A = this chain, B = another copy of it.
Amino acid sequence: MEHWLRKRAHLSPNELAIETMDEQWTFKQLYEKAVSFARKIAFLKGKHVAILSENSLDIIVAFWGCTMLESKIIFLNTKLRERELIQQCETADVEAVIGQSDKVQPLNLALPTFTFEDIESLPILDVEISVEMDLSSICSMMFTSGTTGTAKAVTQTYENHWSSAIASSLNLGLESHDKWLISLPIFHISGLSTVIKSAIYGMPIFLMPSFDATKINQAIQTRGVTHISVVSTTCQRLLENLGDNQYPDTFRCMLLGGGPAPKSLLEEAAEKAIPIIQTYGMTETCSQISTLAMKDALQKIGSAGKALFTASLEIRHGDKKLETNQIGEIVVKGPMVTSGYYDAEKANKESFLSNWFYTGDMGYVDEDGFLYVVDRRSDLIISGGENIYPAEIEDVLLSLEGVKEAGVTGIENTEWGEVPVAFLVTEKQWSEEALIDYCAQHLARYKIPKKFYFCESLPRNATNKLQRHLLKTKLTNK
Contact = CB atoms under 8 A, between A and B. Distances in A.
Q: Quick one: which of A169, A293, A309, A312 has the most chain B CB within 10 A? A: A309
- The 3 A-B residue pairs with the shortest CB-CB distance, nearest first, are A173-B174, A174-B174, A11-B306
Interface in A5-48: 7-8, 10-12, 15
B293 A11 contact: yes
Given A1-B310, A2-B312, A369 B10 contact: yes
Interface in A118-140: none
Contacts of A1: 310, 335
Contacts of A367: none
A309 B175 contact: no
B202 A170 contact: yes
Q: Quick one: which of A8, A170, A175 has the most chain B CB within 10 A? A: A170
Contacts of A11: 293, 306, 309
Contacts of A298: none
A169 B176 contact: no
A176 B173 contact: yes
A294 B169 contact: no
A200 interface: yes
Contacts of A428: none
A162 to B, nearest CB: 9
Q: Quick one: which of A8, A176, A294, A369 has the most chain B CB within 10 A? A: A176
B174 A309 contact: no
Contacts of A10: 306, 369
A201 interface: yes
Contacts of A173: 173-176
Nearest to A177: B173
Contacts of A7: 309
Interface string A280-321: 000000000000011100000000001001101000000000
A188 B127 CA distance: 46
A183 to B, nearest CB: 25
